[in-house]
């Protein structure tokens, strides 16, 4: 434990919530100033991991170590670990200024210092004109920034984000996640970011990990994790097709295909087709195994001629043997 070089060390964390669900020996580490994203489907235990790190739930086993200090049993308010919830939980009875300054006030900072910090943060996040308003009077994107400012104002050792962008529309979500990432790098924030959206998770990550049924897989670079999936559940989470060819389990990404009548890997009948702008999505039923697969044809691949009921010969450009 003492030999650990990581800034945040989560060691064999375990917590039984019910007969059906528990966190099982969750271990990972995060370096200072890094963002680790934890991705997984609904009910996989993402939020539970954050709650145990924040101290909102007390683990049955394992340790939470931040900056060399074991905080596993430390009361929540003394941990200096910030958290942003899915619904942001901005205090509706306080102005934006009071929300952001709350953590500093309760920690006994001097008034001048509080004002300085709040204005500095608000300016960095572009919300300095909203300080007198109440949360009910600002937009969704502005609320995200206020929540971020409130959480980072007391300079937390670690910031936990629990699907903070889920209430935003796609366009705004993309913009805000970019802002958060840029802001976090600028101030050297250490974050654990939880989401079920793999594109968001990969975008935010310096390192990324997956969680399924209370078990966390070892973090990797986001590119490595996505491009080299090692098991069926990872493949399925990232949207890969998993099929059986000649007795082997093969995964492939819906985009990694071509129509090839000469050396196809499989044949299948088209069951549905739809144009989605960037690409055309086609569902296919494989002739000999009956397995269903999803394919994506980029523009210019001739997908406009495909009709429901057609028999296609498909070649997999990049196979992952599992």
Partner 1 sequence: MDGRMGTGNAVKIRGATIRYTLLSFTPSIFILIVIVAPFIDLALSFGSLNFYKIMTGSSPIAMLSRRALYNSLIQGGVSAVFSLLLGYPLGVFLGRNNFRFKKLIVSLVILPFFLPSLVVVYAFMSGFGQGSPASILFSGFTMLSRGFVGIIAVNTFFNAPLVALYTMSSLSTEKSSQIEAVMSLGASDVGGFFTVFGKDTLLAALGGATLAFAYSFAGFAAPLIIGGPGAYTLDAWIYFMFRILGNFHASVSLAIFEAISLIVPTIIYVRILSTQRREGSVESRINTAPSRRSVLFLSAFAYMVAWLIIEAYLLSSVVLRALRANSTFSATNFLILFSNRTTSATGISALGSILNSLFYGFVVSIVVVAAGMAWIAGRKMLHKRYLGTAEVFHFIPLVISSLLMAFAILIVYGINTPQQFLWILIVSAQIAVAIPVVMRTIDAGFSPISREFLESSLTLGGHPFLDVEIPLAKVSFYISLMFGFAISLGEFTATNFLATPKFFSLPVEIYSLQLSRLFGPSFAAATVLLFLSLLVFVLIQRMGEKFIGVR
Segment near partner 1 (CB under 8 A), from 1-9, 35-43, 74-82, 277-285? 74-82
CB atoms within 10 A of CB 45: 25
Cβ distance to partner 1 smaller for residue 105 or 116: 105
In 3-state terms the chain splits into helix, strand, coil percentages (rounded to 5) of: 30, 30, 40
76 contacts partner 1 (rule: CB under 8 A): yes
Determine, following the binding rule CB under 8 A, whether residue 85 of this chain makes contact with partner 1: yes
Q: Binding to partner 1 by residue 92, rule CB under 8 A?
A: yes
Site for partner 1 in 98-117 (CB under 8 A): 102-103, 106-107
Interface positions, 33-72, toward partner 1 (CB under 8 A) = 54-56
Q: How far apart are CA 153 and CA 220, in angstroms?
A: 30
Structure-token pair, residue 287: 């002739």
Sign of the dihedral defined by the CA atoms of residues 51, 54, 60, 65, in that order: positive
Q: Does the protein bind partner 1 through residue 77 (CB under 8 A)?
A: yes
Interface of this chain with partner 1, residues 123 to 152, rule: CB under 8 A:
150-151
Q: Quote the CA–CA distance of 125 and 273 in Å, as a whole number.
A: 43
* β-pair partners for 315: 258
Task: Decide whether 56 or 172 has the Cβ nearer to partner 1.
Answer: 56
The binder of partner 1 chosen from 89, 155, 287, 317 (CB under 8 A): 89
The torsion angle over the Cα atoms of residues 239, 245, 250 and 251, rounded to 10 degrees, is: -20
If the CB atoms of residues 45 and 219 are measured against partner 1, the closer one turns out to be: 45
Q: Which residues bind partner 1 (CB under 8 A)?
A: 54-56, 76-83, 85-89, 91-93, 102-103, 106-107, 150-151, 154
């Amino acid at each position: 434990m003492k030999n650990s070089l990581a800034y945040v060390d989560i060691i064999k964390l375990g917590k039984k919530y019910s007969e059906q669900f528990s966190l099982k020996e969750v271990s990972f580490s995060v370096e200072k100033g890094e963002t680790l994203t934890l991705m997984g489907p609904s009910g996989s235990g993402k939020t539970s991991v954050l709650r145990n790190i924040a101290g909102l739930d007390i683990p049955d086993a394992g340790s939470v170590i931040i900056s060399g200090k074991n905080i596993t049993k430390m009361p929540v308010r003394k941990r200096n670990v910030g958290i942003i919830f899915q619904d942001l939980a901005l205090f509706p009875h306080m102005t934006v200024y009071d929300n952001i300054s709350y953590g500093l006030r309760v920690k006994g900072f001097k008034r001048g210092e509080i004002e300085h910090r709040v204005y500095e943060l608000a300016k960095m996040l572009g919300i300095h004109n909203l300080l007198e308003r109440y949360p009910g009077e600002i937009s969704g994107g502005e609320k995200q920034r206020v929540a971020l400012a409130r959480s980072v104002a007391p300079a937390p050792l670690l910031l936990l984000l629990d699907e903070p962008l889920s209430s935003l529309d796609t366009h705004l979500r993309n913009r805000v996640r970019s802002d958060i990432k840029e802001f976090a790098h600028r101030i050297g924030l250490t974050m654990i970011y939880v989401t079920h959206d793999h594109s968001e998770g990969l975008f935010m990550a310096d390192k990324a990990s997956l969680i399924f049924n209370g078990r966390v897989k070892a973090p990797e670079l986001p590119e490595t994790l996505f491009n080299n999936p090692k098991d069926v559940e990872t493949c399925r989470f990232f949207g890969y097709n998993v099929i059986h060819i000649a007795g082997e389990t093969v995964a492939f990404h819906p985009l990694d295909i071509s129509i090839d009548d000469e050396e196809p890997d499989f044949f299948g009948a088209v069951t549905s087709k739809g144009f989605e702008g960037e690409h055309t999505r086609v569902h296919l039923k494989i002739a000999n195994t009956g397995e269903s697969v999803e394919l994506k044809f980029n523009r210019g691949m001739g997908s406009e001629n495909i009709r429901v009921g057609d028999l296609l010969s498909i070649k997999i450009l990049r196979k992952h043997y599992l």
